[in-house]
Amino acid sequence: KNQVEQSPQSLIILEGKNCTLQCNYTVSPFSNLRWYKQDTGRGPVSLTIMTFSENTKSNGRYTATLDADTKQSSLHITASQLSDSASYICVVSANPGGYNKLIFGAGTRLAVHP
Amino acid sequence: IAGITQAPTSQILAAGRRMTLRCTQDMRHNAMYWYRQDLGLGLRLIHYSNTAGTTGKGEVPDGYSVSRANTDDFPLTLASAVPSQTSVYFCASSVQAGTNEQFFGPGTRLTVL
């Protein structure tokens, strides 16, 4: 069964600190993996996309990694800001027979405190 | 430039009532989607449309219907709402079906009593 599991469920950190969010997936056949940021009361917005051959991708203070062998991805946030408070959703795309099917994780809720 | 808009923002509805959630995009995207988001669960696909005039069932389609008369609009209808349909509903679109960057609307919070 295609699944995406994220950890931790929630996280509280102090402003300026770093943190790492985890995503484990059992999705086949794997197409790509995307991290979304969802602010409270808003729709998700894409942060990064990673394909099978990519190990690391950065977007400002956000760095995503992908290990396709162990089927794990992480999202590292550097020097956190109050505006980083949001839910972060890992989305894996499967491609069974040419159709892209998205499997969403439940998200990690991050709170950055001053 | 609005992107994707949804209406209403929130709604409280009596069980058994009919309700249509509206979704409009101005990006000329071919594909559109409806998801529901429940606490502790990932977004789940209700229905999708790969192009105007076509629709398909997602993971949780029961109790919902959609239509796609034109490129811009993709309304979601609950024919007879039930409390288990209490959720936050997101509309999304992508340039093409299979292009997996989806752009999401702001959501509609629906409560069925």
Average pLDDT, consecutive stretches of 10 residues, N- to C-terminus, chain A (114 residues)? 92 97 91 93 91 88 94 96 97 72 92 96
Residues above pLDDT 70, as percent of chain B = 97
Reported confidence tier of residue B24, pLDDT bands at 50, 70, 90:
very high
CB pair distance less than 8 Å for B43 and A104: yes
Radius of gyration of the CA atoms of chain A, in A: 14
Q: b or e along A39-54 (b: 16 or more beta carbons within 10 Å of the residue's beta carbon)?
A: eeeebbebbbbbeeee
- Rounded CA separation B72/B32 (Å): 9
The contacts found for A8-13 with CB under 8 angstroms, 24 or more apart, are A8/A108, A9/A106, A9/A108, A9/A109, A10/A108, A10/A109, A10/A110, A10/A111, A11/A108, A11/A109, A11/A110, A11/A111, A12/A110, A12/A111, A12/A112, A12/A113, A13/A80, A13/A110, A13/A111, A13/A112, A13/A113
pLDDT of residue A49: 87
CB pair distance less than 8 Å for A106 and B105: no
- Rounded CA separation A8/A80 (Å): 17
Average pLDDT over residues B72-88: 97
pLDDT of residue A8: 96
Average pLDDT over residues B60-85: 97
Reported confidence tier of residue B106, pLDDT bands at 50, 70, 90:
very high
pLDDT of residue A99: 59
Q: Give the list of residues 6+ apart from residue B62 with CB closer than 8 angstroms, or none.
A: none
- Rounded CA separation A79/A18 (Å): 5
3-state secondary structure of A72: strand
Nearest CA in chain B to A35: B101
pLDDT of residue B100: 67
Average pLDDT over residues B37-59: 92
pLDDT at B53 exceeding the cut of 60: yes
- Comparing CB atoms, the residue among B92, B101, B107 nearest residue A49 is B101
Interface test with B, best of A102, A103, A109 (most B CBs within 10 A): A102
Q: Report CA A97 to chain centroid distance, whole Å.
A: 25
